Amino acid sequence: RKEVEQDPGPFNVPEGATVAFNCTYSNSASQSFFWYRQDCRKEPKLLMSVYSSGNEDGRFTAQLNRASQYISLLIRDSKLSDSATYLCVVRSAGFQKLVFGTGTRLLVSP
């Protein structure tokens, strides 16, 4: 079983739509949580960290449910430029290595 599970998609949505991605992690010792964005043939880039209380950055909202070991990302008012692969990433206490999910591909169409 993968340590971080994501639906690979693709999610095809029209501009302006709201889309949500989910992710589950298996290691209960996971301490830090992130969403990264990766454009085609590019490097991953940090989109946002995910905090226990939930957090928002513009059109992006991230939620964490430690009891269910579940992380979500909500994108409102999708833009064409949001088309990318969204990677769910966790880090365990005492370790610096990042553990990645396989990513969820988002395609936003006009």
Residues 11, 19 contacting (CB under 8 angstroms): yes
Name the residues that contact other proteins, by CB under 8 A.
Answer: 2, 4, 31-32, 42-46, 49, 87, 91, 95-103
Q: Which is nearer to other proteins, 39 or 77 (CB)?
A: 39
Contact 21, 8 (CB under 8 A): no
Residue type for position 63:
Q
Nearer Cβ to other proteins (13/99): 99
The CB-of-54 to other proteins minimum distance in angstroms stands at 16
Choose between 38 and 72: whose C-beta lies nearer to other proteins: 38
Least distance to other proteins, CB of residue 44, Å: 5
Let me know: does 45 contact 85? Beta carbons within 8 Å: no
Residue 99 structure tokens = 């553990």
